[in-house]
Amino acid sequence: MANIVIIGMQWGDEGKGKIVDLLTEYADIVVRFQGGNNAGHTVVVGKEKIILHLIPSGALYPEKKCVIANGVVIDPMVLLEEINELQKRGYFTQEEQLMVSEDAHLIMPYHKSIDLARERLKGAGKIGTTGRGIGPAYEDKMAREGIRVGDVLEEEVFREKLKSVLALKNVFLESCLQDKGFDFEKVFQEYWGYGQRLKKYVGNSSVFVNAQIKQGRQILFEGAQGTHLDVDHGTYPFVTSSNTTAGGACTGAGVGPTKITEVIGVSKAYTTRVGSGPFPTELKDATGEKIRELGREYGATTGRPRRCGWLDIPLVKDAIRLNGLGGIALTKIDVLSEFSTLKICTAYQYRGQLLEEVPSSVRALEECIPVYEEVPGWKAPLQKCRRFEDLPRETRDYVRRIEELTGTEVMLVSVGESRDETILRRNPFRRDVPPTR
């Protein structure tokens, strides 16, 4: 049996939602292990487009169990709205399909106010946060001031914790951030109500997941954002507030590393980034705009236009090293079909030096000039290709060149946004099936 972790290899928005949805067919349980509703995983089934923010992408399979684990920070209003929206569309009709960890931390209204106020005060130096309170919620978790899902199920516990924390937050909001504080009773009643509506889903997710692994169930661990937004290993401080790398699956889901069978990384056939931060291959010209329009590169959560550029191999290799990747799922290669010539960044020039690794210094990365290798494009549609051999020769060469430069197998090629527009060269859940080359 296999337990697979899916992570992003770039700065998020790589198409993880589609890959998780596709591989869920072979899994029994899908576990979301970090992040919050700043993530937006888009899944297309037939002509229906569904955007998920908190619920794992496996929600579209009625027989699969979805777990929101302890590493996630949850906005309960958003979660309840998402459940309601899925049910309206005929999904997620069985309560048993969802489990929410009692140890997951909650995003409180003051977290969102702090997030927005700090960004406003930073002005031009802002990070580019989504303003959904993710960072402040993780801060409170680390400061041991957080309120967890299990807390709002016990009235006296919740009342005591909220009273203590809210007194401090109101002082901070009013005195330091020049913003409004919150009324205790109003917040208490709102979140107590959320707790009553969510309690039927709440349980010990770590105990559940480990028991399922012991019974031989196949687990798919789903991350949010991407490797280079990891709070420890990303382009700090332009990062998210959690561990987006594969190690986060263990702490965020409460399973030991020996339980993980393989880690699969998802990378676009080009590179995108939302918000501030260094981006060596960014194209601030007509080519970048063309990639944005062809790829519909606008944030699923915020609608913000994504910055676009050519594929960055040092960035991809960094993700392979940090996550111990066994394979790459390459997405949106169809977007490149309109170009007669493509470029691949194979290294950086930095102050007269050739760098093949991503420098840890953000200032150094901002100064890096990409070293490009030009390769021919294919100028042909790919959406109907279902075998690797069906792809134009130039497309196959592009994929093989990525494998050569990274030393890692491209085990899946996505040729369109729909579930069936995929070439699965190797299925990580079915080791008895030989790969197609």
What is the tens place of the pLDDT at every residue in 257-293?
Answer: 999 999 999 999 999 999 889 999 999 999 999 999 9
List 48's β-bridge partners, or say none: 45
Structure confidence at residue 300 as a pLDDT band (50, 70, 90): low
d(CA 347, CA 369): 9
Of 393, 283, 387, 379, the residue nearest 335 (C-alpha):
379
Q: Which pLDDT value is given to residue 432? A: 53
Vertex 285 angle, CA 283 and 286, to 5°: 115
The tens digit of pLDDT for each residue in 222-235 reads 999 999 999 999 99
Report yes or no: 264 and 328 within 8 Å, Cβ to Cβ: yes
Q: Cβ(370)–Cβ(280) under 8 Å?
A: yes
The pLDDT of residue 196 is above 50:
yes
**pLDDT at residue number 436:** 44
Q: Cα(132)–Cα(275) distance, rounded to whole angstroms?
A: 14
Which residue ranges form the domains of the chain, and what is each CATH number? 3-90+205-424 (3.90.170.10), 105-200 (1.10.300.10)
The rounded Cα 349 to chain-centroid distance in angstroms is: 30
- Min mean pLDDT across 83-92, 232-241, 418-427 is at 83-92
Distance between CA atoms of residues 180 and 431, nearest Å? 57
**Joined tokens for residue 182:** 């919150």
The structure's pTM equals 0.92
Over residues 13-64, the pLDDT tens digits come to 999 989 998 999 999 999 999 999 877 777 777 677 788 889 987 788 888 9
Q: Is the pLDDT of residue 125 over 90?
A: no
CA dihedral 230, 236, 238, 243 (to 10 degrees): 10
Model pLDDT, residue 230 = 97
pLDDT at 43: 77
* Predicted pLDDT of residue 127: 65
Q: How far apart are CA 393 and CA 398, in angstroms?
A: 9
> Across residues 161-188, what is the average pLDDT?
95
Angstrom distance (rounded) from CA 37 to CA 119:
18
SS3 assignment, position 204: coil
pLDDT average, residue stretch 321-334: 98
d(Cα 262, Cα 6) in Å, to the nearest integer? 9
Mean pLDDT of the chain: 93
Percentage of the chain lying above the pLDDT 90 cut:
83
Is residue 356 within 8 Å of 404, Cβ to Cβ?
Answer: no
Q: 6 has which bridge partners?
A: 222, 264
CB 191 within 8 A of CB 1: no
Q: To which residue do tokens 């790398």 refer?
A: 245
CA end-to-end span of the chain: 24
Residues catalogued as catalytic: 13, 41
pLDDT of residue 437: 40
Q: What is the pLDDT of residue 301?
A: 65
Least confident of 50-54, 83-87, 192-196: 50-54
Cβ partners under 8 Å of residue 353, min gap 6: none
Q: Can you give the pLDDT at residue 245?
A: 98
Which CA distances in Å does 132 have to 36, 45, 76, 138, 228?
9, 28, 12, 12, 20
pLDDT at 188 over 50: yes
pLDDT in tens, 136-171: 999 999 999 999 999 999 999 999 999 999 999 999
Q: How do residues 341-368 score in pLDDT, each as one tens digit? A: 999 999 999 999 999 999 999 999 999 9
Answer whether residue 200 shows pLDDT above 90.
Answer: yes
Give 105's contacts (C-beta < 8 A, 6+ positions apart): 73, 74, 137, 138, 140, 141, 146, 147, 148, 149
pLDDT of residue 42: 76
Mean pLDDT of 89-94: 86
Provide the H-helix boundaries in 123-246.
Answer: 134-142, 155-171, 184-198, 205-214
- State the average pLDDT over residues 108-137: 85
Among 107, 111, 61, 54, which residue's Cα sits nearest to residue 83?
Answer: 54
